[in-house]
Amino acid sequence: MSLADHTARRLRLTSLPDPWSLGAALIAAVVVAPILAVLWIALFPSENIWPHLISTTLPRYLRNTLVLMAGVGALACVAGTVTAWLVSRYEFPGRRWLEWLLLLPLAIPAYVGAYALVDFLEYSGPVQTGLRQAFGWQTARDYWFPEIRSMGAAILVLAAAQYPYVYLLARNAFREQSASADEVAQSLGAGAWGRFCRVGLPLARPAIAAGVAIVMMESVNDFGTVDYFAVQTLTTGIFSVWLQSNNAGGAAQIATTVLALVILLVLLEKASRRRMRFFNLSIRHRPVARVPLTGAAAVAALLVCLLPFALGFLLPGGVILSHALDHARNWADPALWGAGLNTLMVGGLAAVLTVCGGLFLVYGVRVSGRVLPRRLMPVTTIGYAAPGAVLGIGILIPLAALDHRLADTVAAVTGQEIGLVLTGSAFALVLAYCVRFFAIAQGAADAALGRVSPNLALAARSLGRSQGQVLAEVHYPLIRGSLASALLLVFVDCVKELPATLLLRPFNYETLATRVHEQASLENLGGAAPAAVLVIGVGLAAVGLLAHANR
């Protein structure tokens, strides 16, 4: 063999995909496949009802969704930004507690807040009952009370549950600002309001924009809240067209509209960050000193911070806990603990698979040195932006077709009926969780590995360790804390996820989220309360971890 032939053979061998590249491609394919399936079903439906949707329900779904997104985004932006500014720049009684208490609404799913608000404000609830007793009113005709199940109430509940996304990012941005800019503005005669509008807010705008984008995407994904308040959005339209009209193609066509909105949000957020870049030019960075507040100003700051905390956590948490205590016998219901066991199994399995897949992908990108894994890694984050209802369509329909073909093949070859293995079990549900929350695990693994010195891996490799041994013996002991945190965060999101669970769960298969939704939909908040308390308890663990990480 000539030297040229030998060199060509070596080039061919080295150009073959390595296991890390193949694994990255497989992971990316699994994550992107549901999105591509939705697009395919929408473009080639068995029954094209797109003209009918455009002329009837789609404009209403789209209008309500846009109003919901705009309202929730604006309200969460104001609440999150103002509270972040107050706890970052001022000192007042209770500030240290509120700095972390303002994160607690993240522990309560928005649909639980919706059930609690209706129970608190409805005709037989404590507010209207107290008003009738206080003023001697006999019936609802004697007084006016705002409509509870409305678009405004849905916006209020979703904003109260999701403003911490804006608050957390804005607070970190305000913390990182230098005292120099604030002092210059003050020397030029700018007061407190002027420094906020002209210095603090513009510098924090990219972080606030990112938080608002997350809030608006979560609003698009929501089903439990808008369904309970009878607000018809694109997400409820997916359920209606698919489950009630039995038209998967029409549901997929609505899902493409949802995807288009989400992609537009992501692009706008990224464009906003590119246009707004600021750099700290000071050699010595000094944080802005907090200004002490006294008297009426201190009371006003305290009340402003207490209001979103009360609406987002105290009210729903108090109502749910009260029902859980008043209906203590429901804690002994076997169906509750069966739903809890199902939640633990599917959520735990999905969390483990997601974190392992994220670690494999990130580590593979670092060690393979190939272009393919590096280009595929950003693609795998698309699942987090896709609402659960969209993923439900993209997973269930292709998986059901594959499941039937597999069952027919096995029956033809062996004569045995195996039934529906993929869609008849929790497989589809676990897959949806993995796709939906893969970005969380990938981000945590990437950040953790980025803090490990490359010299440690090089030293291990020089001692004859393989790449897998380096990961197990060097990297894992150093990053296992971050991986455990990612495991908990993914598990909590799996516990709270409702739209995908409703669509993909097997027949007669309950989780804590579906039990809360179904019992509350039957106006049985006492039956829903124990499961809701368990969901909130799991969420509190994640919020505690988040608060610890952002000290």
Tell me the pLDDT tens digit for each residue of 293-341: 888 999 999 999 999 999 999 999 999 999 999 888 989 999 999 999 9
Query: Whose structure tokens read 């609802």?
Result: 140
C-beta of residue 225 within 8 angstroms of C-beta of residue 111: yes
* Token pair listed for 348: 């735990």
Where along the chain do its domains lie? 33-278+299-326, 327-551
Residue ranges with strand state E in 80-238? 90-91
Q: What is the DSSP letter of 419?
A: -
Q: What is the pTM of this model?
A: 0.86
The rounded distance, in Å, linking the Cα atoms of 288 and 551 is 17
The rounded distance, in Å, linking the Cα atoms of 243 and 385 is 23
Question: How many beta carbons lie within 10 A of that of residue 483, not counting itself?
Answer: 19
Please say if the pLDDT value at position 373 is more than 90.
no
**For position 173, what pLDDT does the model report?**
82
The correct CATH number of 33-278+299-326 out of 1.10.3720.10, 3.10.20.30, 3.10.20.90, 2.102.10.10 is 1.10.3720.10
In DSSP terms, which residues pair with 292 in a beta bridge?
91
As a residue count, the chain comes to 551
Cα within 13 Å of Cα(105), Cβ side: 35
Share of the chain above pLDDT 90, in %: 32
pLDDT bucket at 275, cuts 50 / 70 / 90: low
Please say if the pLDDT value at position 349 is more than 50.
yes
The rounded distance, in Å, linking the Cα atoms of 230 and 218 is 18
Please say if the pLDDT value at position 285 is more than 70.
no
**Residue 25 burial (C-beta neighbours within 10 Å; 0-12, 13-18, 19+):** middle
Query: Average pLDDT of 152-161?
Result: 95
Q: What is the DSSP letter of 18?
A: P
pLDDT bucket at 511, cuts 50 / 70 / 90: very high
* Token pair listed for 189: 């005669």
C-beta of residue 413 within 8 angstroms of C-beta of residue 484: no
pLDDT bucket at 352, cuts 50 / 70 / 90: very high
C-beta of residue 167 within 8 angstroms of C-beta of residue 103: yes
Same-fold call for 33-278+299-326 versus 327-551: yes
211, amino acid identity: G
Please say if the pLDDT value at position 169 is more than 70.
yes
Q: pLDDT tens, 233-268?
A: 999 999 888 888 888 888 888 988 888 888 888 777
Q: pLDDT tens, 176-195?
A: 776 666 656 666 566 666 67
**For position 111, what pLDDT does the model report?**
92
Which range among 243-252, 265-274, 372-381, 392-401 shows the weakest confidence by mean pLDDT? 265-274
327-551 has which CATH code? Answer: 1.10.3720.10
The rounded distance, in Å, linking the Cα atoms of 201 and 208 is 9
Question: How many beta carbons lie within 10 A of that of residue 186, not counting itself?
Answer: 15
The rounded distance, in Å, linking the Cα atoms of 161 and 214 is 12
Share of the chain above pLDDT 70, in %: 89
Q: pLDDT tens, 411-449?
A: 888 878 777 778 888 899 999 999 999 988 888 888 888
Q: pLDDT tens, 18-35?
A: 777 787 778 888 888 888
Contacts for 126 with CB less than 8 Å, ≥ 6 apart: 120
**For position 184, what pLDDT does the model report?**
61
pLDDT bucket at 196, cuts 50 / 70 / 90: confident
**For position 190, what pLDDT does the model report?**
64
The rounded distance, in Å, linking the Cα atoms of 24 and 379 is 11
pLDDT bucket at 389, cuts 50 / 70 / 90: confident
Q: pLDDT tens, 98-113?
A: 988 999 998 899 999 9
